[in-house]
Amino acid sequence: MDLRDILVKIKNNETDLDAAESLIRGMGYVAVSDIAKIDACRSHRTGIMEAILAEGKEPEDVVKIAQVHVAACNRVLITRLNEVNVKLLEDAFKPEELEWGRHKKTVVVHNGTPAPKTGGVVAIISAGTADITVAEEERIVASEMGCETIAIYDVGVAGFHRLVGEMLKLQAHKPDSIVVAAGREGTLPTVVSGLVDVPVIGVPVSTGYGAGAKGEAALLSMLQSCSVLAVVNIDAGFVAGAFAARIANNIAKARGGKTKEAQP
């Protein structure tokens, strides 16, 4: 039940003020024992859903939080999974209740309720195959926030002709925003931003070795970009996907919730 439902009940004299106050106060968060407080109203308040970061949590606690989260919100995204997380989640939920990203590093757990559809369109591009895990986190976040997503993977500047061949795909879908994940020297976001007329978010990825390893060279390269783009932290797939979806959803709302028409 959201705030509007409660207000409608008050209007229709289906609840009294004390009961309504109790319901509204309960909307603040849902407690999971003494280990977590789920921000169940975050998506209504900010447009960005709460997610579970598995990294740093006990695997059993991740399952408990996910179970309560699904009961409260129907769907929940879990990021940064390891093999133990995957096993416990597969034991706790039915196969049809789990939607996995590639390599099972990210998952959406749900009770059958579909994700919303806003009409926003987000393109996700990775420079290399090694960047796909972060790109998948971006894609799933944008999808959970209601956007159509277009994935274009392994088109880094070491073989620039690969990107050229995919530009028609971008043109056909007319994304509202684009997220570009790149490791090594992190050049691809700058190139993409110089070719399109929509916001581009660069995500430095911790692939690569030698001087400037672990995404540091990619981060500095993107920050020094001569084309206009926003840059998030190293491996920050959730932040990039959510920011791109927020842009796309605001644009979709302005055009009445419809996707752009494909270009001829």
Q: Are 55 and 175 contained in the same domain?
A: no
Q: Are 18 and 76 contained in the same domain?
A: yes
For residue 138, give both structure tokens. 């971006």
> Coil, helix or strand for 40?
coil
Q: Is 184 domain-assigned?
A: yes
Q: Is 260 domain-assigned?
A: no
Q: Is 19 domain-assigned?
A: yes
Structural domain range at position 41: 3-110
CATH assignment of the domain containing 136: 3.40.50.1970
pLDDT of 78-106, one tens digit each?
Answer: 999 999 999 999 999 999 999 999 889 99
For the chain, the domain total comes to 2
pLDDT of 182-240, one tens digit each?
Answer: 999 999 999 999 999 999 999 999 998 899 999 999 999 999 999 999 999 999 999 99
| Nearest C-alpha neighbor of 6 from the set 36, 53, 44 | 44
DSSP structural state of residue 104? G
CA–CA separation, 53 vs 248, rounded Å?
24
Is beta strand 230-231 parallel, antiparallel or unpaired with respect to 200-204?
parallel
For residue 214, the tally of other CB atoms under 10 A from its CB is 16
Residues of the chain with pLDDT > 90, as a percent, come to 69
Amino acid at 58: E
Q: How much is the pLDDT for 89?
A: 97
Q: Are 26 and 57 contained in the same domain?
A: yes
Partners of residue 109 on adjacent β-strands: 76, 98
**Placement of tokens 């407080």 in the chain:** 37
**Placement of tokens 């644009």 in the chain:** 251
Partners of residue 125 on adjacent β-strands: 152, 180
C-alpha torsion angle, residues 136, 139, 142, 143 (rounded to 10):
-100
Q: Are 87 and 212 contained in the same domain?
A: no
pLDDT of 10-36, one tens digit each?
Answer: 889 888 888 887 666 666 677 787 888
